[in-house]
Amino acid sequence: MFFFGVMEVQTKYIFVTGGVTSSLGKGIISASLGKLLQAVGFSVSIQKFDPYINVDPGTLNPYEHGECFVTDDGAETDLDLGHYERFLDIRTSQSNNVTTGRIYFNVISKERKGNYLGKTVQVIPHITDEIKENFYQLGKTGQYDIIITEIGGCVGDIESLPFIESVRQARWELGANNAIVIHLTLLPYLKKAGELKTKPTQHSVKTLLEAGIQPDILVCRTEQRIPSDIRKKLSLFCNVDIKSVIEAIDADTIYDVPLLMRKENLDQIVLDKLRLTPKRKTDLDEWKDFLGHLKNPTDEVSIAVVGKYVELPDAYKSIAESFVHASARTECKVNVQWVSSEDLDNDKLLRSLANMDGILVAPGFGERGIEGKISAVGFARRNQIPFFGICLGMQCAVIEFGRNVLGLTDAHSTEMRPDTPNPVIDLMKEQQNLTDKGGTMRLGAYPCDLKKGSMAEQIYNTSQIKERHRHRYEFNNLYLKAYEQAGMIASGVNPEQNLVEIMEIPSHPFFVGVQYHPELKSTVLRPHPIFVRFVQKALEYKKTKQN
């Protein structure tokens, strides 16, 4: 149940704001706190409110905003939701990511329907009411003890003002023991002065205070340990008790952050402020095991990830993290080499792939770099190097096989060459008459039947799976017979629409292409089985090379 004012409120709310600069890692801090609260028995979800006007990040170029993370229910969301899922092993949904664009979209739709009964529709109260309604949506399901809400952007930005005002109102409505605000800030270190500086934090807290919000806890990103006189200073000038000045020192891996936050007692301080008592003794055993394996590998492999957004590793965040999870599980360190598919047109670079123990061709859109990706697949196929293709990577594998094994020299995807005589990858029927770009791809989780005796079935060890999608094009079934006769089989098929989801070459040591995005479901405690097998196969391959 969910009531306001003097009545009972069961769900507790933690709002996380940021100051001084962006990219301080609010998502990681939120996910780490969520993990710690989960470890003492609370059910936790995390949501992110982003101040930009796009209705969702689905239409954003990865260079703008990093990877677009897709949830089971087909929402295209901010990449921080990936961290929430990977840390907490929970599933998020559309409700976990709301942008200014969506808020305005909802308010304007309501206005058009006449829901505001002739009133002038304004930022206050209509936009802020809509924001608050969305703040409370997950809490109202009654499934969670605690909801952590991360507010994107920086305090003081013009565009975050309505969110900050809504946090102020929400805290007032919910009451001090039911809602707290954590402010994440930066303490820059001035080498010449040999000092950590508190002024930017003081200013950013002042900006919050002007908006009517006194932060309960300060989490301070820093490259150096925070001496006690600096903690005292922060406490005094920001009205935050000294225990609640938390040091967030740079970590070796993001997965260390929950333990570092625990050392600083962040979980206990939060629980005290929310008047909660732990439901059980902290259980982080599995997490610590994971870190132990991650940090003490017995082997190591090099894997090339071929894509066109490689200058910005955030564009492939979930793939990078899936390798981290798989490397802990296999105790085999994975050195990911990011290879730009545009450079692969050049023979020399293509030959440099020979030093790799595995090749992954990444997801993507559009023509740029496509031939390099196709060449990379051919290189892996001919040289028996373990190959893993994801989404566009799988489509490239199909094109390469069509051209070089079936002899269809003009085989292509109609995404790149609409008039190709051999459209081995073609637009899905449902996509043909669509004109809007936002939210119209095949999105979210769909079932997939695995072929008996296939590599896919062995890897998953089950006959049906559900994986997440984000694409418009698909394998053209008119060619399926020819492919299968020539040795590339469809080992995973969507049972409802007969869409090919997995292609593999059984005669190759490891050659698997998937139309879906397995990287979106890999978590710390449940690494994705294809990534795990891929790393194992890469290691096997490396060992045979050495013999």
Catalytic center residues: 391, 517, 519
535 binds ligand GLN (CB under 6 A): no
Nearer to ligand GLN, 329 or 470 (CB): 470
Q: Which stretch binds ligand GLN (CB under 6 A): 85-93, 160-168, 253-261, 470-478?
A: 470-478
Least separation, in Å, of the C-beta of 488 and ligand GLN? Answer: 18
- Give helix 199-210 / helix 228-238 axis angle, nearest 10°: 20
**d(C-alpha 491, C-alpha 503), whole Å:** 6
Per-residue tokens: 418: 């609409």
Of the residues 470, 508, 537, 542, which one makes contact with ligand GLN according to CB under 6 A:
470
Q: Which of residues 200-239 bind ligand GLN (CB under 6 A)?
A: none
Q: What is the dihedral of CA 217, 219, 225, 228, to 10 degrees?
A: -20
Nearer to ligand GLN, 365 or 483 (CB): 365
Nearer to ligand GLN, 471 or 533 (CB): 471
392 binds ligand GLN (CB under 6 A): yes
Least separation, in Å, of the C-beta of 391 and ligand GLN? Answer: 3
**d(C-alpha 95, C-alpha 82), whole Å:** 14
**d(C-alpha 358, C-alpha 341), whole Å:** 15
Whether 208 and 214 have beta carbons less than 8 Å apart is answered as yes
Whether 262 and 235 have beta carbons less than 8 Å apart is answered as no
Nearer to ligand GLN, 391 or 502 (CB): 391
Least separation, in Å, of the C-beta of 232 and ligand GLN? Answer: 51
Q: How many CB atoms lie within 10 A of CB 50?
A: 25
DSSP conformational letter for 59: G
Whether 391 and 443 have beta carbons less than 8 Å apart is answered as no
**d(C-alpha 80, C-alpha 72), whole Å:** 15
**Contact string 348-377 vs ligand GLN (x = CB under 6 A):** ---------------xxx------------
Least separation, in Å, of the C-beta of 165 and ligand GLN? Answer: 37
Of the residues 321, 415, 426, 467, which one makes contact with ligand GLN according to CB under 6 A:
415
CA-nearest of 34, 308, 304 to 150 is 34
471 binds ligand GLN (CB under 6 A): yes
Nearer to ligand GLN, 291 or 397 (CB): 397
Of the residues 35, 126, 472, 537, which one makes contact with ligand GLN according to CB under 6 A:
472
Least separation, in Å, of the C-beta of 363 and ligand GLN? Answer: 3
513 binds ligand GLN (CB under 6 A): no
473 binds ligand GLN (CB under 6 A): yes
444 binds ligand GLN (CB under 6 A): no
Given phi > 0 = left and psi -120 to 50 = alpha, else beta, which region is 117? left
CA-nearest of 481, 540, 474 to 508 is 540
Q: Which stretch binds ligand GLN (CB under 6 A): 31-39, 449-457, 467-475, 502-510?
A: 467-475
Q: How far is the first Cα of the chain from the last one, in angstroms, to the nearest whole number?
A: 65
Least separation, in Å, of the C-beta of 505 and ligand GLN? Answer: 20
**d(C-alpha 547, C-alpha 542), whole Å:** 9
Given phi > 0 = left and psi -120 to 50 = alpha, else beta, which region is 366? left
Bridge partners (DSSP) listed for residue 230: none
Of the residues 336, 391, 493, 505, which one makes contact with ligand GLN according to CB under 6 A:
391
Least separation, in Å, of the C-beta of 246 and ligand GLN? Answer: 38
For ligand GLN, the binding residues (CB under 6 A) are: 363-365, 391-392, 415, 470-473
